[in-house]
Amino acid sequence: MNAATLVLASRSPRRRQLLEMLRISHVVDPVEVDELPRPGEDPESYAIRLAREKALAGSKKHPDIWVLGADTVVVLDGRILGKPKSPTAAEDMLLELAGNRHRVVSAIALARGDDMHGACDVTSVWIRQMTRERARAYVRTGEPLDKAGSYGIQGLGAVLVDRIEGDYFSVMGLPLRLVVDLMSAAGIPYNFT
């Protein structure tokens, strides 16, 4: 464990891939936290709370190394759109997003013992208009079934996106510039190696 710079407290293969892309040494050790929103909790507060709870839960298991927790939510008209519960729910969600702007909120937290650093990013995404048949064809690929908002910008879902305003990597689930900023705040300089 000492050879790694971070512990990634997430199952997300995309987050792992992004850390690997930046050559940030890490090990993956997912944690479980209650992900139900609290009454009256706004999406940003919700994402920040979950990222912090994940980082803290991981830090209890690994007190001598920095633990990165992250959470990403898709927000349409103030409502959090989670992962679809069925293929039909995924189709319905995609049709709700079609032709509209939504926000993707990605929060991250870096914890070691009682030391904590956190950040949050909000990116606007516009999804293209689509028919139910188009949504159904995308859902049949299986890609949207494990993703908040029922699409993956880094995969086949890229063709559904009209444009974004903000951080592409945040939409993928890990705002890399903020990860590097938190590492710097924690005394872990990033040197491209």
Tokens at 104, concatenated: 């993707």
The active-site residue, picked from 71, 77, 146, 167, is 71
| pLDDT of the residue at 1 | 37
Q: Where are the domains of the chain?
A: 6-185
Which pLDDT tens digit goes with each residue over 33-45?
999 999 999 999 9
In CATH, the architecture of 6-185 is: Alpha-Beta Complex (3.90)
| pLDDT of the residue at 149 | 95
- Rounded to the nearest integer, the mean pLDDT of the chain is 95
92 in catalytic set: no
For the whole model, what pTM was predicted?
0.93
3: confidence class by pLDDT, cuts 50, 70, 90: low
Report DSSP letters for 29-89, one per residue: -------PPPTT--HHHHHHHHHHHHHHHHHHH-TTSEEEEEEEEEEETTEEE---SSHHH
What average pLDDT does this structure show over 45-67?
96
What average pLDDT does this structure show over 151-171?
97
